[in-house]
Amino acid sequence: MRTIVHDPDRILPRRLLESWEGARPVADLEDVTATLGDDAVLVVAAPSSRCADVCRQLRKIDDFVPLLAVVDTVDTDIRIGCLLAGADDVLPVDAEPSEWRLRLKALARRRGVPWL
């Protein structure tokens, strides 16, 4: 499984990015299209004010890829907005790396993406 990370605002902690083996940062939404495939899980990190919009844009590109949204808030309305916009799961930016890995693994499993 490839983990593609779209974090243009750089809200993800460095320790988290370093804990993901093989994570590939992608800055532009256009570049996301070129990197997706059947073996990918997409992590989108966005400020709470933009999360739903980014999820909608990405779902227009690919409606199948597992999508984990990361937000800089624990506000329930923001998280619900991201889910309604197409995220498969939402985590706060300060979640523990072990929780991130397990959630990514669960998303991959539900979509039939091989987890290596």
* Regions in the chain scoring below 50 on pLDDT: none
Task: Dump strand ranges (E) for the chain.
Answer: 2-6, 24-25, 40-46, 67-71, 89-92
pLDDT value at residue 36: 66
Residue 46 is predicted with a pLDDT of: 80
Q: pTM of the full predicted structure? A: 0.81
- CB < 8 Å & 24+ apart, contacts of 85-89: 85/51, 85/52, 85/53, 85/55, 85/56, 85/59, 86/55, 86/56, 86/58, 86/59, 87/44, 87/51, 87/55
Residue 19's closest CA among 83, 102, 112?
A: 102
User: At 65, which amino acid appears?
Assistant: V
Domain boundaries, the chain: 2-110
**Residue 20's pLDDT is what?**
67
CATH code, 2-110? 3.40.50.2300
pLDDT for position 77:
92
- Write down the pLDDT at residue 81: 93
- pLDDT given for residue 101 in this prediction: 80
Q: In what order do the strands lie in the sheet with 40-46?
A: 24-25, 2-6, 40-46, 67-71, 89-92
| pLDDT digits 0-9 by tens, 87-106 | 999 988 888 878 878 888 88
